[in-house]
Amino acid sequence: MRFQDKVVIVTGAARGLGLGMCERFAAEGASLLMTDVLEEVHASAGRLAEASRGRIVSRVSDASDEAAVLQLMAYARDTFGKVHVLVNNAGISPKNNGRKYLLEETGFDQWQQVLAVNLNGPFLMCKGVLPLMRAAGGGRIVNIVSQASRGRAEFTSAHYVASKSGLVGLTRVLASELGPENITVNAVAPGFMRSALTDMLSDEVRGRMVERIPLKRMGDAVQVASAVAYLASAEAEYVNGTVLDVNGGTIMR
Ligand SMILES: NC(=O)c1ccc[n+]([C@@H]2O[C@H](COP(=O)([O-])OP(=O)(O)OC[C@H]3O[C@@H](n4cnc5c(N)ncnc54)[C@H](O)[C@@H]3O)[C@@H](O)[C@H]2O)c1
């Protein structure tokens, strides 16, 4: 019960890796604010609330929209008064018939949309949550990046890799800037995990990706949730500014 009496916000919480994180936090006693652009987030939160000791609430909200983020934080303040953990998990990775978009195929609108969700979103959320973490006397921010921002990225589009690489940079800067306030900022870099995002890949791309993983299998939401929970917990109190790879050994540093 590492998160008893802790308040946790997870973006992109309706399904996939984000929902897996919420399941872990709830199982360990957290109160949760689950947010997503999908209405489905309410049903996901409802299912979790039935079996949880903490308070579980949900909001439909776009993490890349400044006004919406401010409203979300006002709701968090009115509901909980403070926030201990923020997980910036919401992300998109558009695919072109099961494979990446090449540079020449990428419209500027799509480029901006990916940067907006994957990079502007975490910036807005980190900025917005600050007063609520100060109210808690400190906090933990965990940004979900990707193995695509950690090495050669042959299967992933330029906008996605640029956005996640930017988020690694944001993680480092904020770790320095917010450390003196007892707020740690770290990232988790998942490899090739089962979710709606990777369901979009063609069988051919999927096969080639699995072949490159030393463990020879895809990962899942539970493995990512374990890494996120560690970084968000008291056990990681002296871990700050790091990127934790969860990829079966595909990228080694
Ligand atoms: N699945 C993988 O293999 C993998 C690998 C590396 C990184 N990631 C990252 O993990 C995170 C979760 O991905 P997933 O695999 O669970 O995908 P997913 O598509 O199942 O879940 C992403 C969630 O984010 C939500 N979302 C999208 N735009 C949003 C916005 N503007 N505001 C709020 N919510 C929004 C979606 O509605 C969805 O519920 C993403 O940041 C993704 O880039 C996933």
CA dihedral 239, 63, 41, 156 (to 10 degrees): -70
C-beta of 146 in contact with ligand 1 (< 6 A): yes
Q: Report the 10 Å Cβ neighbour count for 75.
A: 15
* Among protein residues, the one whose CA lies closest to atom 23 of ligand 1: 12
Q: Delineate the domains of the chain, giving CATH numbers in brackets.
A: 7-243 (3.40.50.720)
C-beta of 153 in contact with ligand 1 (< 6 A): no
pLDDT of residue 168: 98
Q: Which residues contact 38 (CB under 8 A, 6 or more apart)?
A: 14, 15, 60
Query: Is position 160 annotated as part of the catalytic site?
Result: yes
Residue among 19, 23, 24, 36 whose CB has most ligand 1 atoms within 8 A, to mutate: 36
C-beta of 245 in contact with ligand 1 (< 6 A): no
One of 75, 101, 160, 238 is an active-site residue; which one? Answer: 160
What's this model's pTM, rounded to 2 decimal places?
0.98
Q: Split the chain (253 residues) into runs of 10 and give each run's mean pLDDT.
A: 97 98 98 98 97 95 98 98 98 93 97 98 98 98 96 90 98 98 98 89 90 95 98 98 97 83
**Angle subtended by helix axes 16-27 and 40-50, to nearest 10:** 20
C-beta of 126 in contact with ligand 1 (< 6 A): no
Distance CA 222, CA 249 (A): 17
